Amino acid sequence: MRKFFGTDGIRGKANVEPLTPPTLTRLGQAIGQCFMRGNYRHRVVIGKDTRLSGYMLESALASGFVSVGMDVIFVGPLPTPAIAMLTRSFRADLGVMISASHNPFSDNGIKLFDPNGCKLSDAVEQNIEKQLESEASPVQPLHLGQMKRVEDAVGRYVEFIKATLPRHLSLEGLRVVVDCANGSAYKVGPLVLKELGATVIPLGFSPNGRNINKGCGTMHPQAMCAKVKEVKAHIGIAFDGDADRVSFADESGNLIEGDQIIALLASDWKERGLLKKNAIVGSLMSNLGLEKYLESQEIALFRAPVGDRYITEKMREEGCNIGGEPSGHIVLSDYATGGDGLLTALQVLSILISKQKPASQLMNLFTPFPQVLKNVAVSPACLTSPEVREAIETAKKKLEKNGRMIIRPSGTEPFVRVMAEGEDEAHLQAIVEEISNILLAHSKAA
């Protein structure tokens, strides 16, 4: 069990423990000490999204890093995948992204990357927490780290992303609605697409520190869908607050699920001989409809726990180069070490151009099985109760032949997620309600 780290780094309310300046400074010291691995100047790259609290977290963490002798490079608001890329580009020892992703502006969080731009393993996170239990070891004044701000970070990432689109392709003639969620892609998202020739209709590109994810982005894609219909765009693209995931709308303004995008990429890459191992990696939440479609295309599906770092770990283990989740976290390891919404968008747009077909034809490759998901506000400790476990096993048996049930604590929010999938939505709804009520009753009794 880890005290601070969840599914995707550390997350919570800004200025509430553990995201307070004293704790963050101590955390910076502990992380820095875990990554000081040689007799040379160590460097950490720090980026953030557009939340007001980002300045506080950035300053506190940087103080901790500098106090143990680590140099800090500030790059400002950029997508999470940009920080992974820049960590490699600067040959830094560590990358830090300050973001709570799709959560409201009052939350914030910390995502960490190793020198290869990969998210940290559970074992490394446990080492950091162990280091927190020890006394800090500040260096002497002569060995303090330095801080500097890099001004060309946006340009570096923009050029990197543009290079993933084959040079013979142009986005000329495409009308694209781009919703940046008032988040970290507000500069780079429209800029990349415009430089590649698209006509861009931007949404959510005026952050004020408090409006990230508010009525926009992947959490509220209705604005994007409506705009696509209004301006008669060919496609709509929406990012979340840190732009590591993406949602789409077809030319009619219909929302496209992440599993459909995985199906599109997998079948296209197989057709072009680019799909490694004839397999992709999904998550426990990947739709059964996707699994059946991939079977029809003779493509295997490996499932990993929820979270894009578990997806990438499974991809490395199986030798796959496509992985992703229904939420729109898509990992294309030929180009990046984790989910990158803008990179995924360019790959989808390249297929749209090459096939010369409407998005509605390309992005609806299978009929999803109904899924019913409910977030129940109870402690994960409820799941250890023998009564609750027995009820869950009974419910699972009801779905054995034509469906499945997954119950798991959220790694980013204070919920237990109850999901049932199968052919009969009414039956699924009844099962989910039954388990949710049992969880709530047990929570009150405890």
Measured CA to CA, the distance from residue 190 to residue 198 in angstroms comes to 9
Cβ atoms of 247 and 221 closer than 8 Å: yes
215 phi and psi angles, rounded to 5 deg: 65, 20
Q: Phi first, then psi: what are they for 422, rounded to 5°?
A: 180, -160
Active site residue 101: yes
CA dihedral 344, 103, 61, 88 (to 10 degrees): -10
Count how many residues are written for the chain. 446
Residue 340 buriedness (CB in 10 A; 0-12 / 13-18 / 19+): buried
**CA–CA gap between residue 221 and residue 270 (Å, rounded):** 30
182 in Cβ contact with 212 (< 8 Å): yes
- The answer to whether 404 and 422 have CB atoms below 8 angstroms apart is yes
Q: Is the CB of residue 445 less than 8 Å from the CB of residue 439?
A: no
CA atoms within 13 A on the CB side of 60: 21
Indicate the helix (H) or strand (E) that contains 347: helix 341-355
Catalytic residue among 53, 63, 67, 101: 101
Closest to 109 in 3D by CA, of 99, 119, 118: 99
Four-CA torsion 386, 387, 388, 391, nearest 10 degrees: 120
Q: Please name the residue ranges forming H helices in 50-152.
A: 54-67, 80-89, 122-132
Choose among 99, 109, 93, 100: nearest CA to 45.
93
Any idea which residues carry the catalytic annotation?
101
